[in-house]
Amino acid sequence: MTQRQLFQQHLAPTSPSPLLLEMERAEGCNIFDTSGKKYLDLISGIAVSYLGHSHPAVVEAVKNQAEKHMHLMVYGEYVQSPQVTYAQLLTKNLPDSLNCVYFVNSGSEATEGAMKLAKRVTGRAEIICFDKAYHGSTQGSLSLIGGDEFKNAYRPLLPGIQRLRFNDFGELDKITKRTAAVVVEPIQGEAGVRIAEKKFLQALRDKCNDVCALLIFDEAQTAFGRTGKLFAFEHDGVVPDVLLLAKGLGGGMPLGAFIASHELMSTLANHPVLGHITTFGGHPVCCAAGRAAMEVLLSEKLHHTVEKKNQLFLELLHHPAIISIRHQGLMIAIEFPSFEFNKKVIDACLQKGVITDWFLFAGNCLRIAPPLIITEEEIRWACEVILDAI
Ligand code: PMP
């Protein structure tokens, strides 16, 4: 049997029509399949590989840490240097109030942890989220996402969730003294790069302050330079009470985190103890990889190169079939007339060796979120292929 047949036989499917590309290795912005065909990765494994694939510094960190030790104990008991030094690096680059990191395994778990934290801190259970939001696939995080078609088959989900219209100031009155937290992406990824208005985020901040609710920013897709700043909230100067990180956080390894003040975070350690438990959260190899990646990002100031690359994409991507382009840095959504049109463009790009995608809540939009190290030459070629595909 071929690998493809074995995949279909033994790996649980997530859709009836997976891509089924047989990938063998990856380097920089390229992925190579088993036949040796080279693909330019314009989506970074969905906003993960911001340094490209198998960056030597990350590979070395993984090898070094694996040789020292891998898993030793459930999260939170032993002092393990990879966790400590990465938490130190992250918090050094965040506002003072975000000084305490809870490492978990994924973005979904970060959302879960933050929701539990909000319940403990406020003693309330109601959580506010937004249309077309995406925060994960576990039952708590699924309760917060924007599309009913993904939720209906799994109800009942969490009670007490209210979904508001994004960027709609008229909805703010729904945030009340019953609200434990407002969970929002400063730039909605799966909605196809929908950017929160600065004034809207400020209004959310003010409202949360008024009613003593926590403001939670989900930056799973937007952190680590993707939008041109280290973290997207830096564009708006609005600081959340809790920051969710995942995807790029592990430098290509699985890692998530929710970050808050030490004072807030302490609530999870008391009455009862062990308010959140995770066996593998903050795995030492993942933390070592994530830290190595972030060190490269900072020392090479890759986030400062993002705006120029954004401009080049915008300069090159002109076609009558493009309805609009929503973008911030290297997070770009090209809007086409329909999903069917978009799908044909995606398939044609793939044929020519360029990997793009659509968005969960914007099927008619083409996703571009390449590694930040993408070169001018690669951008020019990618745009040529996309235009040709259109
Ligand atoms: N939040 C956002 C904004 C995301 O985009 C995602 C993943 N697409 C998640 C949370 C969930 O992350 P994970 O798949 O690691 O659980």
* pLDDT computed for residue 384 by the predictor: 98
The per-residue pLDDT for range 3-31, each reduced to its tens digit, is 999 999 999 999 999 999 999 999 999 99
Distance 327 CA to ligand 1 centre (A): 19
Q: Answer yes or no: is the C-beta of 357 below 6 A from any ligand 1 atom.
A: no
pLDDT for 153 beyond 90: yes
Q: Which two tokens stand for residue 371?
A: 């590694």
Atom of ligand 1 nearest to the CA of 137: 16
**Probe ligand 1: pick from 104, 108, 187, 194, max atoms within 8 Å of CB?**
108
* pLDDT computed for residue 316 by the predictor: 98
The per-residue pLDDT for range 33-68, each reduced to its tens digit, is 999 999 999 999 999 999 999 999 999 999 999 999
> What is residue 247's DSSP assignment?
G
**Probe ligand 1: pick from 49, 112, 134, 255, max atoms within 8 Å of CB?**
134
Q: Which residue has the tokens 């911030």?
A: 328
As a whole number, mean pLDDT of residues 363-387 equals 98
| Contact (Cβ atoms closer than 8 angstroms) between residue 275 and residue 267 | yes
CA–CA distance, 374 with 356 (Å, rounded to integer): 14
Q: Which two tokens stand for residue 167?
A: 């960027």
Indicate yes or no: pTM above 0.85. Answer: yes
Q: Is the N-terminal amide bond of 95 cis, ω within 30° of 0?
A: no
Q: Answer yes or no: is the C-beta of 246 below 6 A from any ligand 1 atom.
A: yes
pLDDT for 320 beyond 90: yes
Q: Answer yes or no: is the C-beta of 108 below 6 A from any ligand 1 atom.
A: yes
User: How confident is the prediction for the chain on average, in pLDDT?
Assistant: 98
Q: Answer yes or no: is the C-beta of 371 below 6 A from any ligand 1 atom.
A: no
Q: Which two tokens stand for residue 385?
A: 């292929």
The per-residue pLDDT for range 110-142, each reduced to its tens digit, is 999 999 999 999 999 999 999 999 999 999 999
As a whole number, mean pLDDT of residues 324-337 equals 98
CA–CA distance, 258 with 246 (Å, rounded to integer): 9
pLDDT for 263 beyond 90: yes
As a whole number, mean pLDDT of residues 292-321 equals 98
Q: How confident is the model at residue 147 (pLDDT cuts 50, 70, 90)?
A: confident
* pLDDT computed for residue 349 by the predictor: 98
Burial group, residue 231, by CB count within 10 angstroms (0-12, 13-18, 19+):
buried
